């Protein structure tokens, strides 16, 4: 306990290790956006006066910054939205409705974000058909299964870059090449990717790409959809209709302060990404090795070789998940994805990997980020170790395991 007390003294509690749910707004980003609330407050569509022209110029700069962050050459391909969920819906539903005369078949992955899955389910109710690809125990799709799933009726393949729960990175360039060969549009939800791994829409041969500011130390409430304008020119049916903003694809007065902040956040994230990736990977290794050195029956969910650097999803056998979360309440982490964490059902992503319900219920997602320190990682290791050991000591199952009993051979028939 004295070691834990010493570690506690070295950090400021509570700790934040849920950076895949959202990130703290970087002070540099906050400073960039503040003037657009009270000084440069014009409507960017009001070009007849200096207030509007000033904010229009600021939006144009941010658009270029955001485009550069994903390797896009034409900043006019960026459509600003309220976030990645809206971008996902605009991409998937916009393509489906625009290209319905070419086909009614869509392909996605069982481990996608709920925004993607639910958009496909909504389209199924309109008569579209969706193939949900399964993943291996490492969280990766099988490219041959994707190839076999594409038919002459397929109009869109949707595969996320980095999984929001397990951090696994899909083989995006290979997926893009396959889609291009078959003449099918390729959409990528890159909300967890930009600023964490190198993102290049040309190298990936993506046709549409969604991302958001609040996953890269910008504010909540603003995102973007990149839409390819040539080879091929992608056309979308808009979700909103109104004043024709954003080339008619997303009507509504632009949130200039948020857009300016998005541009600043994107530029900082991409500029610092190479060295930040090295630092985060070292922190993740420190966290994993610390936990593995202190605890047995610990399981990493998803591939460690194909993973974003700050992401770690671990299951602790013979521990009740809710009790574990309550026990480490001074560390902000999540069990499953933040968007569905209110549910007591085990994570659908982990179940898709083949993880059993018991282990899935004990999974913890650690999201390390820009402001995470070594001292915080060391405290997390000690705190999680303490709580897991305490909970296991209270578990009759753990006692049986310690006695060498193989629980898989036990007949649990009740009376």
Indicate which residues carry an active-site annotation. Answer: 339
Backbone φ and ψ for 224, nearest 5 degrees, come out as: -150, 155
- Whether the Cβ atoms of residue 190 and residue 70 lie closer than 8 Å to each other: yes
Backbone φ and ψ for 275, nearest 5 degrees, come out as: -75, -30
Q: Which residues pair with 157 in a beta bridge?
A: 107, 186
Residues 64, 243: Cα–Cα separation, whole Å: 23
Residue 79, by phi and psi: left (phi above 0), alpha (psi -120 to 50) or beta? beta
- Whether the Cβ atoms of residue 131 and residue 107 lie closer than 8 Å to each other: yes
Distance of CA 283 to the CA centre of its chain: 19
Residues 68, 71: Cα–Cα separation, whole Å: 5
Residues 143, 157: Cα–Cα separation, whole Å: 12
Cβ burial 302-334 (10 Å sphere, 16+ → b, else e): bbeeebbbbbbbbbbbbbbbebbbebbeebebb
């Amino acid at each position: 306990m004295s070691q834990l007390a010493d570690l506690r003294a070295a950090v400021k509690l509570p700790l934040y290790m849920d950076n895949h749910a959202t990130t703290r707004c970087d002070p540099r980003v906050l400073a960039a956006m503040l003037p657009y609330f009270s000084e440069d407050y014009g409507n960017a569509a009001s070009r007849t006066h200096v207030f509007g022209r000033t904010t229009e110029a600021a939006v144009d700069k941010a658009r270029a910054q955001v485009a550069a962050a994903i390797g896009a050459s034409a900043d006019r391909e960026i459509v600003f939205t309220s976030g990645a969920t809206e971008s996902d819906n605009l991409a998937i539903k916009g393509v489906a409705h625009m290209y319905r005369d070419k086909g009614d078949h869509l392909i996605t992955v069982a481990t996608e974000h709920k925004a993607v899955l639910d958009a496909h389910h909504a389209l199924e109710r309109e008569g579209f058909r969706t193939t949900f690809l399964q993943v291996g125990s490492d969280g990766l799709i099988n490219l041959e299964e994707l190839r076999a799933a594409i038919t002459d009726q397929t109009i869109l393949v949707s595969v996320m870059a980095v999984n929001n729960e397990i951090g696994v990175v899909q083989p995006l360039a290979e997926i893009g090449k396959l889609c291009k060969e078959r003449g099918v549009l390729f959409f990528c939800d890159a909300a967890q990717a930009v600023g964490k791994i190198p993102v290049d829409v040309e190298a990936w041969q993506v046709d549409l790409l969604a991302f958001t500011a609040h996953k890269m130390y910008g504010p909540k409430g603003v995102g973007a959809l990149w839409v390819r304008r040539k080879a091929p020119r992608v056309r979308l049916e808009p979700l909103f209709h109104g004043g024709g903003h954003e080339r008619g694809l997303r009507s509504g007065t632009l949130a200039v302060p948020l857009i300016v902040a998005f541009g600043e956040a994107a530029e900082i994230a991409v500029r610092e990404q190479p060295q930040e990736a090295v630092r985060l990977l070292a922190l993740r290794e420190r966290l994993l090795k610390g936990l593995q050195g202190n605890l047995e029956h610990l399981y990493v969910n998803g591939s460690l070789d194909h993973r974003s650097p700050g992401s770690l999803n671990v299951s602790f056998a013979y521990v009740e998940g809710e009790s574990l979360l309550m026990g480490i309440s001074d560390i902000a982490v999540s069990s499953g994805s933040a968007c569905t964490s209110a549910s007591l059902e085990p994570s659908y992503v982990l179940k898709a990997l083949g993880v059993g319900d018991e282990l899935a219920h004990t999974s913890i997602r650690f999201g390390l980020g820009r402001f995470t320190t070594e001292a915080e990682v060391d405290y997390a290791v000690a705190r999680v170790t303490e709580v897991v050991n305490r909970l296991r000591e209270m578990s009759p199952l753990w006692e049986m395991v310690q006695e060498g009993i193989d629980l898989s051979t036990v007949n649990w028939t009740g009376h």
